[in-house]
């Protein structure tokens, strides 16, 4: 409680003093930054008050604790990144959680754009460029009000700008960054723009064998620059991980990989190819005159205000140079442990394994299955001021504050082995080795674990039990393996069905039988992909991990020590309750996260017991595990 003296003026202009008692419930909200006349570009102004405020909201919502907030604020001072994003990248909270907390504290609406799409009319009130710069999406009009979804509703400068621009009274609501990016894609489509740009590029301007000067000239013409920019922008908004520009006999084809699958996005007349490829090569600082050997380069740009790196690779094909650009989006780098896709049972095993003070933890799976992402989620979880974490990687993919990351560099002789040896003199607690590729690395990793360090690494094998034979083939003694290993984790990624358009159906008895599932009392609902504007007509949106977690415990250790075959280790693990990759995939079909087709595509081995091509083996027992009837993979 506080007493305040106020001066009131009645409608005749008479002044009077009054004392009022006020109860201060929480710190004063938003104090408008004064910008008029200071000559600073509005979006560049640093607003310390806002930081404190969002920090406070996050504290009160118990999304961060005091120490974590300090770390985040420090990081913000260094990078200038939005506090919300930093907190997310520290693996704390979820986008939804943070947005909900902000909404509750400010007493405003949290709008999930998945449930309510913006009105087209509302969208048109704010030009896309301004929406993008301020990370806002106009959602609906109500008389003189415009409800605007804002990633950062504390951004009063943006609210002011929007009010002036639209003439509406702005009613801020909270949206997540993901929803913001998706909604941007709902602005009147760019497809039309791309074809318009292509039409501006005349065939007569291009002959096949151009000199470097001519190439440089055409590659710096407006339409080509716009085409290249649009192509990149469109791909990044679609969350593509790779962009392929592929010359063919008649046309140039552009495809992009989204959630692990390639989709064609445009084919254009062949006369564009040379100019487009030259443009991309200029952007990547490559030699445009050289078209006979492969080249590598890099493009750094900002897309929708986020820094994005493109790793560019060219290779001469019979129809001309093919360009592939890998998108390295640093902002989407970390996934917190709770967002990896671990089911509750697995989550417990996972936590138990990474909570061990020393030993080897290995992640298994083919290229691109999310190993590095999971490793970083683990490091992020273990990253406290009390421990020394050192990583050696080839290359260092993400940068994490508070840990020492070393990049392998073979030319001067900094190999995995040499780095690891040096680590042991650097007083580490936790060591992460990007990948165990050779015998010597395997040996040192095991040694380090036996001398009291937690060693995290990845192996290129399919399942958990396969790791043992792989290490054995690298010459690691079975008894050393048995005593050093604490956990094996196999992983894949499945695409997540788009919640807006997925279509429910009841699986047939036949399908259930083949999945070794008994028909349940209440019918199961599976979903199949359909495709809508929201998911770019793919039917899926994003991916999630599926896991197989094998704690190397007292039952498993003797089997490893005695060189038991992988099948035996696997059977013992399943008997002890391990959920297999297949179990996890099926459970994610049953809960509607993914489709049966997708699960089959990712984990179910052709012709294996769970393939839909063959009847399932009879179930052995009424055990709740889904694994028993499926056995070996
Ligand atoms: N649990 C997850 N949920 C959603 N997306 C994920 C998850 N894990 C990884 N991804 C995404 O999948 C892609 C590949 O992940 P990552 O680089 O971790 O795989 P990897 O197994 O380390 O690949 P490589 O074999 O090339 O090293 C990345 O774009 C990443 O963002
Ligand atoms: Mg990796
Ligand atoms: Zn959809």
User: pLDDT digits over 257-276, tens only?
Assistant: 988 888 888 777 777 888 88
Q: Determine whether the shortest distance from the Cβ of 342 to ligand 1 is under 6 A.
A: no
Q: Determine whether the shortest distance from the Cβ of 493 to ligand 1 is under 6 A.
A: yes
The burial of 518, by beta-carbon neighbours within 10 Å (0-12 exposed, 13-18 middle, 19 or more buried), is given as exposed
> How much is the pTM?
0.68
As a whole number, mean pLDDT of residues 66-87 equals 86
Answer whether 527's CB lies under 8 Å from 508's CB: no
DSSP bridge partners of 414: 409
Position 79 confidence tier, pLDDT thresholds 50, 70, 90: confident
DSSP bridge partners of 324: 244, 313
- Peptide bond between residue 395 and the one before it cis (omega within 30 degrees of 0): yes
When comparing pLDDT for 313 and 85, which is higher?
A: 313
Structure tokens at 388: 């020394």
pLDDT digits (tens, 9 = 90+) for 357-383: 999 999 999 998 999 999 999 999 999
Q: Out of 281-290, 516-525, 540-549, pick the least confident.
A: 516-525
DSSP state, residue 356: -
Q: What is the pLDDT of residue 453?
A: 97
Atom index in ligand 1 nearest the CA of residue 369 equals: 21
Q: What is the pLDDT of residue 8?
A: 55
Ligand 2 centroid distance, CA of 303 (Å): 24
Single out the residue of 576, 581, 583, 584 nearest to residue 557, CA to CA.
576
**Vertex 574: Cα angle to 568 and 580 (nearest 5):** 110
Q: What is the pLDDT of residue 204?
A: 52
Q: Determine whether the shortest distance from the Cβ of 257 to ligand 1 is under 6 A.
A: no
Residue of 343, 368, 433, 545 to mutate, ligand 1, most atoms within 8 A of C-beta: 368
Q: What is the pLDDT of residue 225?
A: 84
Ligand 2 centroid distance, CA of 392 (Å): 12
Task: Flag whether pLDDT at 19 surpasses 70.
Answer: no
Task: Flag whether pLDDT at 614 surpasses 80.
Answer: no
Q: What is the pLDDT of residue 398?
A: 82
Residue of 339, 366, 372, 391 to mutate, ligand 1, most atoms within 8 A of C-beta: 372
- The set of residues, in sequence order, having a beta carbon less than 8 Å from that of 419 and lying 6+ positions away, is 392, 406, 408
Helix or strand run (H / E) with residue 404: strand 404-407
Q: Determine whether the shortest distance from the Cβ of 274 to ligand 1 is under 6 A.
A: no
Centre a 10 Å sphere on the Cβ of residue 495 and count the other Cβ atoms it contains: 26
Atom index in ligand 1 nearest the CA of residue 460 equals: 25
Atom index in ligand 1 nearest the CA of residue 397 equals: 17
Q: Out of 170-179, 181-190, 372-381, 490-499, pick the least confident.
A: 181-190
Q: Out of 49-58, 90-99, 515-524, pick the least confident.
A: 49-58
CA–CA separation, 341 vs 544, rounded Å? 5
| Percentage of the chain modeled with pLDDT above 70 | 81
**Residue of the CA atom closest to atom 29 of ligand 1:** 241
Ligand 3 centroid distance, CA of 530 (Å): 7
Q: Out of 35-39, 298-302, 550-554, pick the least confident.
A: 35-39
Ligand 3 centroid distance, CA of 592 (Å): 14
Q: What is the pLDDT of residue 455?
A: 98
As a whole number, mean pLDDT of residues 288-300 equals 92
Centre a 10 Å sphere on the Cβ of residue 624 and count the other Cβ atoms it contains: 7
CA–CA separation, 132 vs 147, rounded Å? 16
Atom index in ligand 1 nearest the CA of residue 363 equals: 21
Q: What is the pLDDT of residue 141?
A: 85
Position 199 confidence tier, pLDDT thresholds 50, 70, 90: low
Q: What is the pLDDT of residue 432?
A: 97
**Vertex 233: Cα angle to 296 and 140 (nearest 5):** 160
Task: Flag whether pLDDT at 627 surpasses 70.
Answer: no
Q: What is the pLDDT of residue 193?
A: 62
Position 3 confidence tier, pLDDT thresholds 50, 70, 90: low
Q: Determine whether the shortest distance from the Cβ of 434 to ligand 1 is under 6 A.
A: no
For the chain, what is the mean pLDDT?
Answer: 82
Q: What is the pLDDT of residue 88?
A: 85
DSSP code string of 162-222:
HHHHH-SEEEEEE--HHHHHHHHTTSS-SHHHHHHHHHHS-GGG--SS--HHHHHHHHTSH
Q: What is the pLDDT of residue 77?
A: 87
3-class secondary-structure state, position 426: coil
Give exposure, 550-575, as e/b (b: 16+ Cβ within 10 Å): bbbeeebbebbeeebebeebbbbbbe
CA–CA separation, 139 vs 119, rounded Å? 6
Q: Out of 288-292, 360-364, 507-511, 607-611, pick the least confident.
A: 607-611
| Percentage of the chain modeled with pLDDT above 90 | 43
Helix orientation angle between 566-575 and 464-473, rounded to the nearest 10 degrees:
150
As a whole number, mean pLDDT of residues 206-226 equals 73
When comparing pLDDT for 455 and 33, which is higher?
A: 455
Q: Determine whether the shortest distance from the Cβ of 58 to ligand 1 is under 6 A.
A: no
Q: What is the pLDDT of residue 562?
A: 93
pLDDT digits (tens, 9 = 90+) for 396-452: 888 888 999 999 998 899 999 999 999 999 999 999 999 999 999 999 999 999 999
Ligand 1 centroid distance, CA of 386 (Å): 28
Q: Out of 449-463, 496-510, 519-533, 615-629, pick the least confident.
A: 615-629
Residue 579 sits at φ, ψ, to 5 deg, of -90, 130
Task: Flag whether pLDDT at 622 surpasses 70.
Answer: no
Position 293 confidence tier, pLDDT thresholds 50, 70, 90: very high
Q: Determine whether the shortest distance from the Cβ of 373 to ligand 1 is under 6 A.
A: yes
As a whole number, mean pLDDT of residues 325-331 equals 78
Residue 302 sits at φ, ψ, to 5 deg, of -115, 130
Single out the residue of 254, 281, 279, 255 nearest to residue 268, CA to CA.
254
pLDDT digits (tens, 9 = 90+) for 98-137: 899 888 888 899 998 876 777 777 777 787 778 888 889 9
Q: What is the pLDDT of residue 595?
A: 96
DSSP bridge partners of 325: 243, 312
Position 194 confidence tier, pLDDT thresholds 50, 70, 90: low
Task: Flag whether pLDDT at 205 surpasses 90.
Answer: no
When comparing pLDDT for 219 and 463, which is higher?
A: 463
Per-residue H/E/C for 9-78: ECCCCCEEEEEEEECCCCCCCCCCCCCCCCCCCHHHCCCHHHHHHHHHHHHHCCCCCHHHHHHHHHHHHH
Atom index in ligand 1 nearest the CA of residue 365 equals: 21
Atom index in ligand 1 nearest the CA of residue 435 equals: 27
């Amino acid at each position: 409680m506080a007493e305040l003296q106020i001066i009131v003026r009645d409608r005749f202009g008479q002044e009077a003093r009054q004392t009022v008692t006020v109860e201060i419930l929480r710190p004063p909200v938003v104090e408008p930054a004064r910008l008029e006349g200071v000559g600073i570009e509005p979006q560049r102004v640093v607003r310390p008050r806002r930081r404190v405020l969002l920090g406070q909201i996050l504290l009160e919502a118990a999304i961060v604790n005091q120490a974590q907030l300090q770390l985040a604020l420090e990081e913000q001072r260094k990078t200038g990144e939005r506090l919300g994003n930093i907190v997310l990248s520290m693996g704390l909270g979820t986008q939804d959680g943070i947005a909900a907390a902000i909404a509750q504290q400010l007493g405003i609406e949290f709008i999930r754009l998945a449930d309510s799409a913006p009105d087209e009319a509302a969208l048109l009130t704010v030009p896309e460029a301004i929406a993008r710069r301020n990370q806002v999406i106009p959602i609906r009009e109500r008389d003189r009000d415009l409800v605007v979804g804002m990633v950062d509703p504390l951004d009063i400068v943006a609210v002011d700008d929007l009010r002036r621009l639209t003439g509406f009274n702005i009613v801020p609501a909270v949206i997540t960054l993901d929803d913001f990016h998706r909604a941007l894609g709902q602005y009147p489509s760019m497809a039309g723009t791309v074809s318009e740009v292509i039409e501006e590029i005349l065939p007569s301007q291009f002959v096949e064998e151009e000199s470097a000067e001519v190439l440089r000239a055409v590659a710096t013409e407006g339409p080509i620059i716009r085409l290249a920019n649009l192509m990149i922008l469109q791909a990044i908004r679609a969350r593509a991980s790779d962009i392929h520009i592929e010359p063919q006999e008649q046309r140039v084809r552009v495809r992009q990989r989204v959630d692990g699958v390639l989709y064609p996005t445009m084919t254009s007349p062949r006369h564009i190819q040379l100019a487009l490829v030259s443009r991309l090569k200029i952007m990547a600082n490559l030699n445009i005159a050289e078209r006979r050997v492969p080249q590598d380069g890099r493009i750094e740009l900002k897309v929708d205000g986020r820094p994005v790196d493109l790793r560019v690779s060219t290779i001469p094909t019979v129809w001309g140079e093919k360009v592939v650009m890998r998108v390295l989006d640093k902002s989407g780098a970390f996934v917190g442990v709770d967002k990896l896709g671990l089911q509750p049972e697995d989550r417990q095993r996972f936590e138990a394994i990474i909570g061990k003070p020393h030993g080897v933890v290995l992640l298994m799976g083919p290229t691109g299955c999310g190993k590095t992402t999971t490793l970083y989620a683990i490091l992020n979880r273990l990253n406290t001021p009390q421990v020394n974490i050192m990583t050696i990687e080839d290359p260092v993919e993400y940068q994490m504050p508070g840990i020492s990351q070393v990049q392998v560099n073979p030319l001067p002789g900094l190999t995995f082995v040499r780095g690891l040896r040096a680590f042991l003199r650097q007083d580490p607690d936790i060591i992460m080795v990007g990948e165990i590729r050779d015998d010597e690395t395997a040996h040192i990793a095991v040694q380090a674990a036996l001398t009291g360090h937690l060693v995290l690494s990845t192996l290129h094998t399919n399942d958990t039990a396969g790791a043992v034979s792989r290490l054995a083939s690298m010459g690691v003694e079975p008894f050393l393996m048995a005593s050093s290993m604490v956990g094996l984790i196999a992983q894949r990624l499945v695409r997540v069905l788009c919640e807006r358009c997925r279509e429910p159906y009841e699986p047939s008895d036949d399908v259930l039988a083949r999945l070794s599932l008994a028909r349940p009392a209440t019918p199961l609902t599976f979903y199949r992909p359909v495709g809508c504007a929201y998911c770019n007509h793919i039917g899926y949106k994003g991916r999630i991990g599926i896991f197989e977690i094998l704690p190397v415990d007292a039952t498993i250790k003797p089997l490893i020590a005695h060189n038991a075959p992988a099948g035996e280790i696997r059977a013992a693990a399943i008997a002890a309750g391990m959920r297999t990759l297949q179990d996890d995939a099926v459970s994610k079909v049953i809960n509607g996260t993914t489709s049966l087709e997708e699960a089959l595509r990712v984990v179910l081995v052709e012709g294996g017991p769970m393939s839909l091509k063959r009847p399932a083996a009879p179930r052995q027992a009424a055990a709740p595990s889904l694994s028993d009837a499926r056995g070996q993979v």
